[in-house]
Structure 1
Amino acid sequence: MAFFKRKLLFALLLLTSTALLKAQDFSSVKSIAERRVPWLAKSLKFSKIVSGEKDVFELSSDGKGILIAATNANAAAQGLGWYLKYYCNRSLSHLGNNLSPLSKLPVISEKVRISSSFQYRYALNYCTINYSFSFYGWKDWEKELDWMALSGVNLMLAPMGTELVWYNTLIKLGYTDAEAKAFIPGPAFTAWWLMGNLEGWGGPNSIAFMQSQAALQKKVLTQMKELEIEPILQGFYGMVPHDLNKKVDALKDAQIIDQGTWVASEFIRPAILVPTNDKFNVVADVYYDELKKLYGNDIKYFGGEPFHEGGKKTGVDITAVAKSVQGMMQKHFPSSTWVLQGWQSNPADALLAGLKKENTLIIELFGENTSNWKLRKGYGGTSFIWSNVSNFGEKTGLYGRLQRFLYEVYRIKQSPYNNYLKGVGIIPEGLNNNPVAYDLMLDMAWRKEKPSLEKWITDYTIYRYGSYNKDIVDAWKVFTQTVYSSPLDEKGKIVYQEGPSESIYCARPSLKVNPVSSWGTRKRNYDIKLFKQAVALFIKADKQFKNSETYQTDKTDFLRQVMADKGDRAYDELVKAIQEKDKKSIKDKGNVFLSMVLQQDSLLSSNHYFTLNRWLNQAVALGKGLPDANNILYNAKAQITFWGPDNKSFTRFKDYAHKEWSGLLSSLYYNRWKLFIDEAMNDKITPTTTFYDLEVKWAKEANLYPVKKITERQLLAIQKRILE
Structure 2
Amino acid sequence: MKKMNRNKILMLFLLLLAGISAHSEPYEGVRDIASRRFPWLVKGLVLEIIPASEGNEVFELSTNNGKVLVAASSASAAAEGLNWYLKYYCNRSMSHFGDQLSALNKLPEIKNKVRIISPYRYRYALNYCTISYSMSFYTWKDWERELDWMALNGVNLMLAPVGMEGVWQGTLRKLGYTEKEITDFIAGPAFGAWWLMGNLEGWGGPVSQALIDQQVLLQQKILKRMKQLGMEPVMHGFYGMIPSNLKDKAAIKVIDQGLWAGGFKRPDFLLPEDPYFDKVANIYYAEMKKLYGDDLHFFGGDPFHEGGTSKGADLAASGKHIQQVMQQNYPGATWVLQGWQQNPADALLSGLNKDKTLVIELFGENTNNWEKRHGYENTPFVWSNVSNFGEKNGIYGKLQRFSDEVFRAKNSTYASSLKGIGIIPEGIYNNPVAYDLMLELGWHKDHLDLKKWIGSYTNYRYGKRSSTIDKAWAVFLETAYSSPEVNQEGPSESIFCARPAMDIESVSSWGTRKRNYDVEQFEEGVRMFVAAAKEFEGLETYQTDRIDFVRQLQANRADKVYASMMQAIKTKNLEEFKSSSAKFKHMILQQDSLLSTSKYFLLNRWLQQSLDFGASKSDKENALMNAKTQIIFWGPVNNPKTDLHDYAHKEWSGVLSTIYLSRWEQFINWQIAKMSSKNVPEPDYFKMETEWVKRKDLYPSKSLTKKELDRLIERMVRKE
Determine if the TM-score, normalized by the shorter chain, exceeds 0.5. Answer: yes
Q: Distance in 2 between matches of 1:314 and 1:698?
A: 41
Which residue pairs with 1:462 in the alignment?
A: 459
Q: CA deviation at 1:539?
A: 1.4
Match of 1:115 among 84, 95, 117: 117
Residue 191 of structure 2 aligns to which amino acid in structure 1?
F
2:231 alignment counterpart: 229
Q: Residue 399 and residue 282 in structure 1: after superposition, are their counterparts in 2 closer, same or farther (change >3 A)?
A: same
Distance in 1 between residues matched to 2:679 and 2:108, nearest whole Å: 64
From 651, 657, 664, the counterpart of 1:660: 651
- 1:22 Cα deviation after fit: 12
Cα distance in structure 1, aligned partners of 2:48 and 2:706: 48
**Residue 599 (structure 1) aligns with:** 590
**Would you identify which runs of 4 or more consecutive aligned residues in structure 1 move more than 6 Å?**
21-24, 684-689
How far apart, in 2, do the equivalents of 1:75 and 1:258 lie? 45
Q: Contact 1:238–1:274 (CA<8 Å) still a contact in 2?
A: yes
Report the counterpart of residue 131 of structure 1 in structure 2.
Answer: 133
Residues of 1 paired with 2:109 and 2:55: CA distance? 26
Question: What is aligned with 1:716?
Answer: 710
**Counterpart of 2:347?**
350
Residue by residue, what CA displacement relative to the aligned partner does 1:519-563 show, whole Å, maximum 9, x if unpaired? 000000000000000111111211010111000000000000000
Distance 1:666 1:723 in 2: 20
Rounded to whole Å, the distance in 1 between the matches of 2:415 and 2:155 is 21
Determine whether 1:702 maps to 2:696.
yes
CA distance in 1, matches of 2:681, 2:700: 30
Q: CA RMSD in A?
A: 1.5
Q: CA deviation at 1:626?
A: 5.2
Structure 1 residues 331, 22: CA separation in 2 closer, same or farther (over 3 Å shift)?
farther
Deviation of the 1:688 alpha carbon: 7.6
How far does residue 436 in structure 1 lie from its aligned partner after superposition? 0.4
Task: Give the conservation status (yes or no) of the 8 Å contact 1:620–1:633.
Answer: yes
Deviation at 1:685, TM superposition (A): 9.8
Query: Where do 1:386-405 residues align within 5 Å?
Result: 386-405=383-402
Choose the corresponding residue for 2:79, options 74, 77, 89. Answer: 77
Equivalent position of 1:3 in the other structure = none
* Partner in structure 2 of residue 173 of structure 1: 175
Summarize the Cα distance change of 1:685–1:131 in structure 2 as closer, same or farther, 3 Å threshold. Answer: farther
Residues 461 and 473 in structure 1, CA contact (< 8 A), matched pair in contact too: yes
CA distance in 2, matches of 1:688, 1:447: 56
Q: 1:34 — aligned with what? A: 35
Structure 1 residues 685 and 670, CA gap change in structure 2 (3 angstroms): farther
Q: What TM-score do you get using the length of structure 2 for normalisation?
A: 0.95
Query: How much has 1:315 moved relative to structure 2?
Result: 2.1
Which blocks of at least 5 consecutive residues in structure 2 are unaligned?
1-21
Q: Which moved more, 1:560-569 or 1:408-417?
A: 408-417
Which residue of structure 2 lines up, in the alignment, with residue 17 of structure 1?
none
* Structure 1 residue 303 displacement after superposition: 0.2
Deviations 1:593-642 (A, max 9, x none): 10100000001011111111111111011014353210110000000000
Aligned equivalents of 1:145, 1:688: Cα separation in 2: 48
Deviations 1:4-35 (A, max 9, x none): xxxxxxxxxxxxxxxxx999721100100000
Matched, 1:622 2:613: yes
Are the equivalent residues in 2 in contact too, given 1:648–1:689 (CA < 8 A)?
A: no
From 193, 199, 202, the counterpart of 2:201: 199
Contact 2:362 2:424 in 1 (8 A): yes
1:255 counterpart letter in structure 2: K
Q: Distance in 2 between matches of 1:218 and 1:384?
A: 28
Q: 1: CA distance between counterparts of 2:488 and 2:642?
A: 21
Name the residue aligned to 2:16.
none
Q: 2:418 aligns with which of 406, 415, 421?
A: 421
Match of 1:612 in 2: 603
Aligned to 1:8: none
SS in 1 for 2:654: coil
- Whether 2:43 is the aligned partner of 1:49: answer no
- Report SS of the residue matched to 1:361: strand
Q: Which residue of 1 aligns with 2:685?
A: 691
Amino acid of the residue matched to residue 386 of structure 1? Answer: W
Distance 1:543 1:693, change over 3 A: same
Counterpart Cα distance in 1 of 2:148 and 2:567:
51
Once the two structures are TM-superposed, the CA of residue 648 in structure 1 deviates from its matched residue by 4.2
Q: Secondary structure at the match of 1:495?
A: coil
* Correspondence for 2:495: 504
Contact 1:131 1:429 in 2 (8 A): yes
Q: Distance in 1 between matches of 2:367 and 2:539?
A: 37
Q: Distance in 2 between matches of 1:433 and 1:350?
A: 37
> 1 CA distance for matches of 2:272 and 2:639?
37
- Relative to structure 2, which stretch is displaced further, 504-513 or 584-593? 584-593
- In the TM superposition, what is the alpha-carbon distance from 1:689 to its structure 2 partner? 7.2
Partner SS for 1:422: strand
User: In structure 2, do the counterparts of structure 1 residues 25 and 685 end up closer, same or farther at CA, with 3 Å as the change threshold?
Assistant: farther
Alignment deviations for residues 631-672 of structure 1 (CA, whole Å, 9 cap, x no partner)? 110000000000001234323000000010001100111111
> Cα gap change, 1:631/1:623 in structure 2, threshold over 3 Å: closer, same or farther?
same
1:359-411 per-residue CA deviation (whole Å, 9 max, x = no partner) reads 00000000000000110111111100000001000000000000001110111
Counterpart code for 1:432: Y
For residues 496-541 of structure 1, the C-alpha deviation after alignment (integer angstroms, 9 at most, x for no partner) is: 1110000000001111211000000000000000000011111121
Q: Aligned residues: percent identity? A: 55
TM-score, normalised on structure 1? Answer: 0.94
The offset of 1:718, in angstroms, is: 1.8
2:258 alignment partner in structure 1? 260
User: Alpha-carbon deviation of 1:586?
Assistant: 2.4
Q: Does 1:444 align with 2:441?
A: yes
Is 1:277 aligned to residue 277 of structure 2?
Answer: no
What code does the residue aligned with 1:695 have? E
C-alpha distance in 1 between matches for 2:531 and 2:711: 15
CA distance in 2, matches of 1:57, 1:268: 49
Q: Distance in 1 between matches of 2:244 and 2:24?
A: 43
| Structure 2 CA distance for partners of 1:279 and 1:686, relative to 1, 3 Å | farther
Q: 1:676 is matched by which residue type in structure 2?
A: F
Report if aligned partners of 2:58, 2:117 keep a CA contact under 8 Å in 1. Answer: yes
Q: Does the CA-based 8 Å contact 1:648-1:693 persist in structure 2? A: no
